Amino acid sequence: MKFSANLGFLWTDRSLPDAIRTAKAAGFDAVECHWPYETPPEQVKAALEETGLPMLGLNTVRGNPGENGLCALPGRQPEARAAIDQAIDYATAIGAGAIHVMAGFADGPEAEAAFLENLRYARRNCPAGIDLLIEPLNRHDAPGYFLRTTDQAAAILKQLDMPGIKLMFDCYHVGRTEGDVVTRLKALAQVIGHIQFASVPSRGAPDQGELDYRFVFAKIAEMGWSQPLGAEYKPGGATDDSLGWLRSLR
34 binds ligand LJYKPCYY (CB under 6 A): yes
176 binds ligand LJYKPCYY (CB under 6 A): no
Q: CB of residue 153 vs Mg ion: minimum separation in angstroms?
A: 12
223-242 mask for Mg ion (x: CB under 5 A)? Answer: ---------x----------
Q: CB of residue 4 vs Mg ion: minimum separation in angstroms?
A: 11
Quote the CA–CA distance of 101 and 122 in Å, as a whole number. 9
What is the signed CA dihedral for 168, 169, 173, 178, rounded to 10 degrees? Answer: 130
Catalytic annotation present for 135: yes
Q: CB of residue 230 vs Mg ion: minimum separation in angstroms?
A: 7
Report the residue from 59, 150, 227, 239 that binds ligand LJYKPCYY according to the rule CB under 6 A: 59
Angle CA 220–29–249, to nearest 5: 55
Catalytic annotation present for 232: yes
Those residues whose C-beta lies under 8 Å from the C-beta of residue 179, and which sit 6 or more positions away, are none
CA torsion through residues 236, 242, 246, 248, sign: negative
100 binds ligand LJYKPCYY (CB under 6 A): yes
Pick the closer one to ligand LJYKPCYY by CB: 161 or 210.
210
Q: CB of residue 38 vs Mg ion: minimum separation in angstroms?
A: 21
Q: Under rule CB under 6 A, how many of the chain's residues touch ligand LJYKPCYY?
A: 9
Pick the closer one to Mg ion by CB: 21 or 213.
213
196 binds Mg ion (CB under 5 A): yes
User: Do 231 and 10 form a contact (C-beta atoms < 8 A)?
Assistant: yes
Pick the closer one to ligand LJYKPCYY by CB: 123 or 173.
173
32 binds ligand LJYKPCYY (CB under 6 A): no
Q: Applying CB under 6 A, which residues contact ligand LJYKPCYY?
A: 34, 59, 100, 135, 137, 170, 173, 196, 232
Q: Applying CB under 5 A, which residues contact Mg ion?
A: 170, 196, 232
